[in-house]
Amino acid sequence: MDFFKQVNREFLRRRAALKWGAWGPDVLSLSVADLDFPAPEFIKEGVRKALDEDRAPYASLHGDPDVLAAAAEKVRRVNGIPVGPEDVAMVPGTMFAIWAVTQYALRPGDEALICPSPVYPHFMKKVAGAGGAAVHHSLTLAPEGARLDLAGIEARITPRTRLIMLCNPHNPCGVVLTRPDLEALVDLAIRHNLVLFSDELYEDMIFEGTHLSPASFSDQAFETTLTVFGFSKAYGFPGFRIAYVVGHGPHIKAIRQKAYEILVHTDTLAQAAALAALTHGGAWLKDLRAHLVRMRDLGLERLRAMPGVWCPTPQASPFLFPNFSAYGKTSAEMYDYLLKEAKVVLETGSDFGPAGEGHLRINFATSPDVLTEALDRIESALAKLERRG
């Protein structure tokens, strides 16, 4: 566990370009969804092994056979989805999967039901890129927690709806959806002949609750659903750009074709990293989850002691989603204020959808000293502001 006690800030500013590199040496970043720790040694060894095997020529179009077999075995064993290698496509990251699914399912003027919202901003961006419109069904966010109320959701489905998009475990609120929640979404998709897209990237970062894959519920659910799983968040190698989409029949064939048209195939060294994660990741994940629970609890305790701030308890993910609206600023204004006054970079809540207004997302997948210093700075900056009553 000593591995998680410190981070190398100099390394992060030099190599973690998206999260740390854009900011000055006096700025702390709790923003982009990246671990502040190096990838575990078994991941690096897997890539070295692939180099020694000269995996440089063109490879199999939809994934190397050993990687597809390992992914299919994991999905059957862990997620309960009855897949074979032919039902899996290795793709360059979850963002690519979101793009491919929206390009496949939507035409200009079509609608995608986002449930639950607020959600990862690229859901909405990729829907817009396909010429579609995002329709939000939002979580109820409150100090006592976040919850999904499905009352009225069917009224949001129109003749133009083609796709239901969900993120479970949830980014940014850390909700783990229940079986009744997921069964209701599967039922809607089946009855209305919709594609159900399930982003399950954070399945390895669950603290309370049970992760369920809706594609495991029935043969019909499997045939309706496209599920994406990934590695970058739990293993700390987003730069390798690797994830995998699971589906059946025409849906997965279409995703495989989309990937082929753009990529030929996903990078073989990234697939080697994925294979190492699939086969050697158990002990690492246990230690990482234990560290993240401690960091979540540290962040919650500190935030809830700050006047005017409330924060639901996340059941999963490396994120806190506190609300700062008592200070009379929009999410964007509070982001700018904390960047300028506290020298801390967070993520603007309104970017995640309308229900995110007033919130900021904090990534606590860092070391205790970084999180503590950032929260100290935030607390000092808030003390200079007046609250609204």
253 pLDDT above the threshold of 60: yes
Q: How many Cα neighbours within 13 Å face the side chain of 214?
A: 34
Max CA pair span of the chain: 66
Q: How many Å apart are CA 75 and CA 78, to the nearest integer?
A: 5
CB neighbourhood size of 368 (10 A): 16
329 within a domain of the structure (yes/no): yes
CB neighbourhood size of 135 (10 A): 20
Note whether 17 and 79 are same-domain residues.
Answer: no
389 within a domain of the structure (yes/no): no
Q: What is the dihedral of CA 48, 287, 235, 116, to 10 degrees?
A: 160
Terminal-to-terminal C-alpha distance of the chain: 44
CATH number of the domain within which 52 lies: 3.40.640.10
pLDDT at residue number 145:
86
pLDDT at residue number 388:
74
Residue-wise pLDDT for 344-378, tens only, equals 999 999 999 999 999 999 999 999 999 999 999 99
Note whether 218 and 299 are same-domain residues.
Answer: no
Q: How many Å apart are CA 130 and CA 133, to the nearest integer?
A: 9
Q: For 116, which DSSP code?
A: E
Give the tokens for residue 7: 């981070």
Q: How many Å apart are CA 218 and CA 16, to the nearest integer?
A: 41
pLDDT at residue number 389:
55
Residue-wise pLDDT for 24-72, tens only, equals 999 999 999 999 999 999 999 999 999 999 999 999 999 999 999 999 9
Note whether 32 and 137 are same-domain residues.
Answer: no
33 within a domain of the structure (yes/no): yes
CB neighbourhood size of 343 (10 A): 18
Note whether 56 and 123 are same-domain residues.
Answer: yes
Structural domain range at position 228 = 43-280
